[in-house]
Structure 1
Amino acid sequence: MPISNTLKAAAFASIAAMGTFALAAGSPALAHNHKAHSEKSQPNIVEAAQGTGVHGTLVAAVQAAGLVDTLSSPGPFTVFAPTDDAFSALPAGTVDTLLQPANKGQLSTILTYHVVAGRVPAAALSQAIRNNGGSYSFETVAGENLTASFDGHTIVITDGAGRESKVTMADVKTTNGVIHVTDGVFLPG
């Protein structure tokens, strides 16, 4: 069920005001309240994605969904950022269809499915996986769950559709959170 932009804006404002996040209720291992870095040389999440050269589709989608201001706000947020190759692996026409103005709500839901409130470094996520017997489920800003596990030493995220994506680069620090680059796009179940 798509989340209205008004509700989403209220949720983001509420999350930003909290400043902390536990990936699941009662999980103090992942409750982090890190100060955002104030170094002017460090980009915010949107600026970092714009500068990689491999997140053009993600940036275009964030712009089309009207989420630039939200993901540029103080946050903090953790973003699982699919590469252009990850978007290219979706069925033909999927990205073009999602970028159409008529599909803004669906696009926004998919994008917020890649966002977790708070700053969740890979070490904390890895520890949660180990503490929970090798698999850890957590809620995204979209209100849907993702599940983290390991493939060797690599963190793998399984979405609601059962698709697995690897974290190919972890802990890209930004002024308003952290980015974990993924080789797949998450789709709700």
Structure 2
Amino acid sequence: MMSAAVAIGGTAVAQDNPQVGGAAMYANRTIVENAVNSKDHTTLVAAVKAAGLVETLSGDGPFTVFAPTNAAFAKLPAGTVDTLVKPENKQMLTGILTYHVVPGTIMAADIAAKVASRGTATYPTVAGGDLTFAKAGSGYTVTDAKGNAANITIADVRQKNGVIHVIDTVLMP
């Protein structure tokens, strides 16, 4: 973990937040303000812009975002991302992206507690539909409606308007 400076009343206060994509993540910035600095999330940022979700994800929230990396998008069949970011596919792209967003702030400890008591944890997404979480080795997986599982690779990246958990696979509604 790296110590990031957080401005409170003009004074910098150290706060632990993991680096993402080689960039410091600041708890006093929005999801979008932090994501644009991650070299591992350029595809996600481009998709968010194409879907017209920048204003939403810059809003008050709180939101929990399961943020796929560039490598996660690269796992999709060739041409998928290029097709999705076309204006005529905006509705489909929006549906996929909002399927990665859960209302509220859900920290890794919340997921772990639910999984420990129930075996799995399920959270509804903004798009509709659920994400299901389970223990996998020393971490957790999130499974989409189609049965595809993503690993949470970096958890609890605090944001001004929620939290990001980095994942290694794009989830599909």
TM-score, with structure 2 as normaliser: 0.84
The answer to whether the aligner puts 1:128 opposite 2:110 as a matched pair is no
Counting aligned pairs with the same residue, the percent is 51
Gaps of 5+ in 2: 1-5, 11-25
Q: Measure how far apart 1:153 and its partner are.
A: 2.1
Task: Give the aligned partner of residue 46 of structure 1.
Answer: 32
Q: Measure how far apart 1:131 and its partner are.
A: 1.3
TM-score, with structure 1 as normaliser: 0.77
Q: Which amino acid aligns with 2:91?
A: G
The answer to whether the aligner puts 1:63 opposite 2:49 as a matched pair is yes
What SS does structure 2 have at the residue aligned with 1:55? helix
Judge which range, 58-67 or 41-50, deviates more.
Answer: 41-50
Q: Which amino acid aligns with 1:43?
A: R
Q: Which amino acid aligns with 1:144?
A: G
Gaps of 5+ in 1: 1-36
Q: Describe how 1:69-88 pairs up with structure 2 within 5 A.
A: 69-88=55-74
Q: Measure how far apart 1:138 and its partner are.
A: 1.7
Any conservation in 2 of the 1:148–1:156 contact (CA below 8 Å)? yes
| Distance in 2 between residues matched to 1:152 and 1:136, nearest whole Å | 16
What SS does structure 2 have at the residue aligned with 1:73? coil
| Distance in 1 between residues matched to 2:32 and 2:74, nearest whole Å | 20
The answer to whether the aligner puts 1:154 opposite 2:139 as a matched pair is yes
How many corresponding residue pairs?
151
Task: Give the aligned partner of residue 3 of structure 1.
Answer: none
RMSD: 1.4
Provide runs of 4+ in structure 1 moved above 2 Å.
Answer: 37-42
Q: Which amino acid aligns with 1:56?
A: T
Deviations 1:68-107 (A, max 9, x none): 0000001000000000000001000110000000000000
Q: Which amino acid aligns with 1:167?
A: I
Deviations 1:104-135 (A, max 9, x none): 00000000000000011110111111111x21
Q: Greater strand percent: which structure?
A: 2
Q: Greater helix percent: which structure?
A: 1
